Each structure stands twice: as structure tokens, then as C-alpha cells.
Amino acid sequence: MYRNIRIMNLPIILINFKSYKEATGDRALCLAEICEELSTRYKTTIAVVPQYIDLKEICRKVEIPVFAQHIDAIEKSGAYTGHVVAENLKEIGTTGTLINHSEKKLKLGEIEKCVEIARKNDLISVCCAAESEEAEAIARFNPDFIAIEPPELIGSGISVSTAKPEVVVNSIKNIQEVNPKIKVLCGAGISSGEDVRKALELGTCGVLVASAVVKASNPEKILEELVKAGLNI
């Protein structure tokens, strides 16, 4: 199982299952297995971000990175009904977590705490940022990755790498000035191989994608297109 950022080959394709029916229960496992097969075939990193209800089974049945969609700013397991605790995620084999997705926004203080908690539990942190100023602020917390995702483009089919390349470029610049070790992903509207190519050309190390793969009539076909673009084949 992947447990360390150093053994995750770049570029990375991170698939967010969100709460889509197409990626729930048996369908979630099926999609994760498709991701694993393509990851093995092309020797590249494809990571999945299932719903909480499917995390444990998927962690047990695939050997690609499995991320949670969120963690709460809670140090240890205990009496926290309805919360998501990093320590418990680590115990079931989770590799990392998203933090501050546009559909689960946090205050800066909460982001900082969540990054710290993820680090203490050896979970890879992928913090989402809507624009370059937020990216710069988050960079000061030293997460492993920052994903640039203007919320108005999420699910639009119009990628940020095409519609707002300056947001990506400015974000990378701001992040590197704070901590050049932080890796940057491109999200929001990624739906084609060309979107992936443009994202990498702008200086990112991968993409965060959701509906374009999860809701596709043929997820394997579109995912293979994204993988080939990322590998330039």
C-alpha cells in the first residue's frame, strides 16, 4: 500500500468520488479497481477519494492511494459523533485527505490545524484553494499539495487551465515563494486530455478531477485519455 508521498510518482491524477450515486457502494469499488488497473498498466499514480462509507473496503481491496474527502480539526479519536477523525482514517489504511474543498470550506485556522493533524498521522494533505491569495495563505501551513480550484468552474466542463491559466500561474508563483517543496495540482473543470496537458505545461504536477470521470458513460475511456495526456503518450 502507498503510505509515503515520496513513492507517489508524478504526475498524479486524483479522482474525487464526491457523493455521486455513480461512485457509491459496489460502483465505488468498481471505479477504484478501474483506477488501479490503469495505474498498474501505465505505471503512474492514480489516487481515489471515495465517500466515507466506502473508505474501509476500498482501502482493503486496492493498492493505489486512497484519500478521505475531509478531516475535522480533532487530535484524537473519542466522543466526536458525526466527525471525521484523522487517527481513525489512518487506522483503516487511508493514505491522505483533502482539506478545504470548495464544497467543504474551512477557516484558515482550521486548515492549519487539519494540516498539522494530517502530518502527525502520516496522512498526505491536499489543500484546495480558490485563488492565488488563498493558496499563498495555505502554503504557510506547509501542506504536501495545494489544488487550485476556482469554485465557479467546478463541474462546469471548462477547466481552470484553459479558462483561467493566470490563476494557476500566479498561485504556483505565490506558493513557491513561501515553500518551493509544496506540489501544486490543478482542479475545477478538468475533463479532457488537453486540459491535463495544459495543466502540466503551466507547472502543476497533476490534476484533481471528479464528474468528468465519475459520471462518464465510460469512465475507463476518459481516465485513460487523462493518463496518456499526463504521460505525454
Locate 186 and state its grid cell.
490543478
- List 13's β-bridge partners, or say none: 46, 207
The single-letter code of the amino acid at 50 is: P
Nearest 5°: phi and psi at 232? 60, 45
Quick check: is 224 catalytic?
no
Q: Which of 70, 101, 112, 136 is catalytic?
A: 101
DSSP 35-65: HHHHHHHHT-EEEEE--HHHHHHHHHH--S-
Quick check: is 101 catalytic?
yes
- List 127's β-bridge partners, or say none: 99, 146
DSSP 71-90: --S-SS-SS-TT---HHHHH
108-120 and 132-139 helices, crossing angle to 10°: 50
Q: Which of 112, 134, 149, 225 is catalytic?
A: 149
Catalytically active residues, by annotation: 101, 149
